[in-house]
């Protein structure tokens, strides 16, 4: 790995950790995941096409490493079903009802999404990748990406619905009507 690529890899570590946190939902696991993914990437750096985005390539490696980790975890736990399509819902509705629409509520809502949908949300909604970039990073067809995204976003909209019943968050933060109007 040449010095410049190494420097770039270190520079994008904050974003890799953010993505990994979204996948693992746990800070310590996220750092383990980033480390495992970086070691993998460094070992097979010759597979990275120079000139393409290093971050997208790293997101892909993090995602596949994460899936591998979940699978081996499930094998250890005696569960053999795939993570794909899993729809566990650990969202604590009561707790959420107390909170206004805060970043914490949004994070927790995102954490309730199945793994495949969460990866898409992390890349498109959190990282701000375009649909095309995200589908390339995850190596999934555009149609798969958009359907996962639509399922995830409608689920989030549903979960966070009561909390945004009115637009308090906008009103209470000294934003003039003009500014508000400018995004509509």
Partner 1 sequence: MISLDESTLIAYVDGELDIETIRMVEHKLSEDANATKYVEHLREIAALSRIAFNDTLHEAVPQALKDAVLKAAALNNADAANVVAFAPRRTQSDWGRALPMAAAAACLLLGLGGGYQYSKASTGDALKLASLTMQQDQSAMDLALNQALEVKMSGDTQTWANPDSHRSAAFTPVKTYQDKSGAFCREYRKDVSTNNQAETSFGLACRDDKGTWKTRYLILDNSNSQNF
What are the residues binding partner 1 (CB under 8 A)?
1, 3, 6-7, 9-11, 13-15, 17-18, 21-22, 27, 30-31, 34-35, 38-39, 42-43, 45, 101-104, 106-107, 110, 121-122, 124-126, 128, 130-131, 146-147, 149-150, 153-154, 156-157, 160-161, 164, 167, 169-170, 172-173, 175-176, 178-184
Q: Which is nearer to partner 1, 35 or 56 (CB)?
A: 35
Least CB distance from residue 95 to partner 1, whole Å?
Answer: 16
Least CB distance from residue 5 to partner 1, whole Å?
Answer: 9
Least CB distance from residue 3 to partner 1, whole Å?
Answer: 7
Which residues are CB-contacts of 167 (< 8 A; sequence separation ≥ 6)? none
Give the orientation angle of helix 54-77 with respect to helix 13-24, to 10 degrees: 30
Q: Which is nearer to partner 1, 78 or 181 (CB)?
A: 181
- Return the closest-CA partner of residue 71 out of 60, 61, 81: 81
Cβ contact 181:170 at 8 Å: no
Count Cβ atoms below 10 Å from residue 135 Cβ, excluding itself: 22
- Tokens read off for 171: 């009103």
- Return the closest-CA partner of residue 91 out of 161, 164, 159, 163: 159
Least CB distance from residue 145 to partner 1, whole Å?
Answer: 11
């Amino acid at each position: 790995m040449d010095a410049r690529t190494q420097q770039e890899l270190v520079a994008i570590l904050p974003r890799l950790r953010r993505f990994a946190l979204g996948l693992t939902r746990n800070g310590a696991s996220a750092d383990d995941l980033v480390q495992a993914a970086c070691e993998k990437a460094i070992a097979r750096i010759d597979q990275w096409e120079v000139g393409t985005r290093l971050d997208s390539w790293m997101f892909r490696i993090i995602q596949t490493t994460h899936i591998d980790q979940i699978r081996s975890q499930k094998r250890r736990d005696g569960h053999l079903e795939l993570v794909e399509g899993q729809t566990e819902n650990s969202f604590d509705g009561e707790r959420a009802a107390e909170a206004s629409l805060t970043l914490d509520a949004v994070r927790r809502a995102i954490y309730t999404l199945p793994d495949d949908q969460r990866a898409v949300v992390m890349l498109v909604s959190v990282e701000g990748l375009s649909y095309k970039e995200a589908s390339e990073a995850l190596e999934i067809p555009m149609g798969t990406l958009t359907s996962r995204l639509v399922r995830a976003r409608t689920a989030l909209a549903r979960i966070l619905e009561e909390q945004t019943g009115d637009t308090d968050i906008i009103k209470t933060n000294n934003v003039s009507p003009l500014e508000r109007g400018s995004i509509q």
